[in-house]
Amino acid sequence: MSTDSRPLVLHVMYRFDTGGLENGIVNLINHMPAGAYRHAVLALTEITDFKQRVQRQDVEFIALQKPPGQGFWQYGRLFKLFRQLRPAIVHSRNLAALEVQAPAWAAGVPVRLHGEHGRDMVDLDGNNLSHQRQRRFYKPFVHHYTALSLDLAGYLMDKVHVSKSAITQACNGVDTAHFHAAPDGPIAIANCPFDPKQHWLVGTVGRMQAVKDQVMLAHAFVQALNLAPELQSRMRLVMVGDGPLRAQAQAVLAQAGLAHLAWMPGERTDVADILRGLHAFALPSLSEGISNSILEAMASALPVVATAVGGNADLVVQGKTGRIVSPANPQAMAHRLVQLASNPEQARQMGRAGRQRVLANFSMQAMVSTYQSLYDQQLRRRGPVPATLQHQ
């Protein structure tokens, strides 16, 4: 048991790996004042090298290596772990980690929070009855919910029957000092074969898995060049990330004879530098919460073309900071890409407006303040109040 008087927040998720949910947790830990809370990260399965992005040295990482499926048989192990760590707050994320709420209750954890960050491929529209029943089953164990978007907050109210007062919308924040545009326009990306001074680069960054649908973007790029063949001399596609869809996207481009106009380097850690080398950003997802990728692109003064899913329309102002298109519709995406590539000044204006929107509404400070205030409020309500909060 730690003698540190700061209350411990235990962040729980299924797997701690490259992704928007995990990136949000990293940002929260790195930017919350160190004197406010201690933090630990619990992954039900595994923790990858992504943990190296956490800059604080006092964060414990725990991986349970849980096999797939409901882990009722792990409740005893979780109970003992919660008793050992004695967290003041357990904050689970998404359905795959919700099951920890029952053993957290049994172990007497004072504050139990659950966050909804987005949907997966088997429940894109939120109508999966089994998932609704699971969330309702665990609802009595949860004190309060966080939802990244209005869409997810509505889902909790309408489908899970959570009261509005028990939900806090907590949008992701972006580090606007780290993500910003180059002062004189896009700059060369390390190892990229394309020159942003000669070419017009549209790009995307993210795990290449089904819910992100990068194959749709590959099809859209092909269709864009069919719609406007004159763009073949300068329009280029950058797709950063790794996963099962990478080979499929490459095959789409190769079949169209356009593989030489695309760069797909796999996973990269220099995302901010990559964004500074683009002229526009595209997000073809089938589902999102509040996309870190969109926020980072907007902070980098890029116009964004994104699908009308989850919280994307909460971020991208149609016609002002970018364009919203229907999901799984490469033709609609293609038309918007052609419009931006054909009107570079309009694209730059949208990018500048996006940067201003992020500065005003989605700063890292705003995100940290939301979570810290929620943690403080819930601890005061559930008690006992830690010494660090008694005189605030």
Predicted pLDDT at 68: 75
Q: What is the pLDDT of residue 382?
A: 83
pLDDT score for 119: 84
Count CA atoms within 13 Å of residue 61 on its CB side.
Answer: 22
Mean pLDDT by 10 residues, the chain (392 residues): 84 92 93 96 96 96 85 85 96 96 96 92 88 97 95 96 97 93 97 97 96 97 98 98 96 98 96 98 93 95 96 95 98 98 98 96 92 96 57 40
Which of 328, 213, 322, 217 has its CA nearest to residue 262? 217
Q: What is the pLDDT of residue 289?
A: 83
Run of H or E including 304: strand 304-307
3-state secondary structure 66-89: CCCCCCHHHHHHHHHHHHHHCCCE
In the prediction, which pLDDT does 18 show?
A: 84
What's the rounded Cα separation, in Å, for the pair 207 and 68? 20
Strand order in the sheet with 304-307: 262-266, 235-240, 200-205, 280-283, 304-307, 322-325
Q: Of how many residues is the chain composed?
A: 392
Of 120, 2, 17, which is closest to residue 61 (Cα–Cα)?
Answer: 17
Closest CA to 258 of 334, 345, 335: 334
Q: Let me know: does 374 contact 368? Beta carbons within 8 Å.
A: no
According to DSSP, residue 164 is labeled G
Q: What is the pTM of this model?
A: 0.79
Question: Which residues, in sequence order, are bridge partners of residue 40?
Answer: 10, 60
Task: Convert the pLDDT of each residue in 327-377 to its tens digit.
Answer: 999 999 999 999 999 999 999 999 999 999 999 999 999 999 999 999 999
**Domains, the chain:** 8-173+364-389 (3.40.50.2000), 200-360 (3.40.50.2000)
End-to-end CA distance of the chain: 25
Q: Give me the torsion for CA of 219, 222, 225, 231, rounded to 10°.
A: 100
pLDDT at 210: 95
